[in-house]
Amino acid sequence: MKQSWLKRPITKLLLAGLFLFCSVVVPQADQANYFYDELGRLVGATDGQGNMAVYTYDTVGNLLSIQKYSSSASGIGIFLLLPSKGVIGTQVEIRGYGFDNLASNNQVSFNGTAATVISSTVNSIVTTVPANATTGLVTVTNLNGTSISPIPFTVLQLPVITGISPNPVAQGSTNYNTIITGFNLTNATSVSFNQAGITATILSEGTSTQLPINLKIASNVPVGSYPFSVTTSLGTGQSGTVMVIVKSPLPTTSTTFPLSVFMPSLQNTRPSGPGFTTTRALSVYLTPLVTQNLSGPDSVATFPLSVLNPPPATVLPSGSSTAVASPESVSMP
């Protein structure tokens, strides 16, 4: 009678080997960690013992090298920065060996600027890019010594907004050009407002310190002050205390000014005696204006004026001091 295949010695040996492989090899594989950069490229891998492989690439993405590091080395060392670039406040993981499990026992700096350590293990430190940090190498120091990162950390500069002029802008403005001033404004892609009804279009000829924009303010936007943000390829900067001020539009007055001034004609005037004076007849016409739109507290309008001097009357002055006078000018208040 044939034995069942499960009872055969060779089968038992194979099953035992498979069990051993599953119980030993697979858990070790599960402990591996893989790290990727912002482009999705594999930049690091660690095993369960803290050993690490670091992958480096050229500018077009070709793999240049794979460096292996052992956690059994004495002292302290940095393998990798994850990520290797970011703005102020970015959380960064430093991978290496010889770190202290107590976060406060590790001192971290970015190009000489001290950073706060959030957490740490023997192989990892989590920190943030400190204010005023600049691009440069990262340093970790503890009782095991000092280590410097193999590559620099690149500090990306967000847009900084310092002003906007001219400002304020009237409600209902549809084509208002103004300039945002600040730093790191090159290659701005958008200017955004949280307030509905305010839109901005970026104009050409911007620089790193000046960003010309065109504003449109809906007529129903409430009077007030509104912050905004500027976005570039490196990130978004908030305006903070710099705001666009929306005001009421200037008052508009429509007025028609018809005016006629008539002076009676002198027909036959015969003054006599000393000191007599006669004046020619005069008619003054202020040409009617269809509409005059005035705005602002100091607005001034100019109106056309017609002056008509009718033919002189018959004047027969007499006496030692008589005279005939005709006006040469007319002044309107």
- The per-residue pLDDT for 309 is 54
Q: Do residues 140 and 73 share a domain?
A: yes
Dihedral over Cα of 117, 118, 124, 128: its sign: negative
Domain boundary among 155, 170, 196: 155
Beta carbons within 10 angstroms of residue 73's beta carbon: 12
312 and 264 in a single domain? The answer is: yes
Whether residue 105 sits in one domain with residue 67: yes
Confirm whether 62 is domain-assigned.
yes
Do the domain assignments include residue 3?
Answer: no
Residue 19 pLDDT: 41
> In this structure, are 43 and 84 located in the same domain?
yes
pLDDT of 127-168, one tens digit each?
999 989 999 999 999 999 999 998 899 999 899 999 999 999
- End position of a domain, from candidates 224, 247, 270: 247
CATH number of the domain that residue 35 is part of: 2.60.40.10
Q: Tell me, yes or no, whether 258 lies in a domain.
A: yes
- Asked whether residue 260 falls in the same domain as residue 230, the answer is no
Whether 48 and 111 map to the same domain: the answer is yes
Q: Do 185 and 282 have their domain in common?
A: no
Domain of 82 in residue numbering reads as 29-155
16 assigned to some structural domain: no
Number of domains in the chain: 3
What pLDDT shows up at residue 11? 44
Region for 11 from its dihedrals, namely left if φ exceeds 0, alpha if ψ lies in -120 to 50, beta otherwise: alpha
Is 10 domain-assigned? no
Shared-domain flag, residues 138 and 49: yes
- State residue 147's pLDDT score: 95
Would you say residue 269 lies in a domain? yes
Whether residue 241 is found in the same domain as residue 291:
no
HEC sequence for the chain = CCCCHHHCHHHHHHHHHHHHHHHHHHHHHHCCEEEECCCCCEEEEECCCCCEEEEEECCCCCEEEEEEECCCCCCCEEEEEECCEECCCCEEEEEEECCCCCHHHCEEEECCEEECEEEECCCEEEEECCCCCCCECEEEEECCEEEECCCCEEECCCCEEEEEECCCEECCCCCEEEEEEEECCCCCCEEEECCCCEEEEECCCCCCCEEEEEEEECCCCCCEEECEEEEECCEEEECCCCCEEEECCCCCEEECCCEEEECCCCCEECCCCCCCEEECCCEEEECCCCCEEECCCCCCCCCCEEEECCCCCEECCCCCCCEEECCCCCCCC
Residues 84 and 144 in one domain: yes
For residues 114 and 196, membership in a common domain is answered with no
Same domain, 218 and 264: no
Domain final residue pick, 205, 220, 247: 247
**Does residue 129 form part of some domain?**
yes
- Residue 33, class by beta-carbon neighbours within 10 Å (0-12 exposed, 13-18 middle, 19+ buried)? middle
Q: What is the pTM of this model?
A: 0.53
Intervals of the chain under pLDDT 70: 1-30, 252-333
Q: How far apart are CA 116 and CA 208, in angstroms?
A: 31
| pLDDT for position 252 | 59
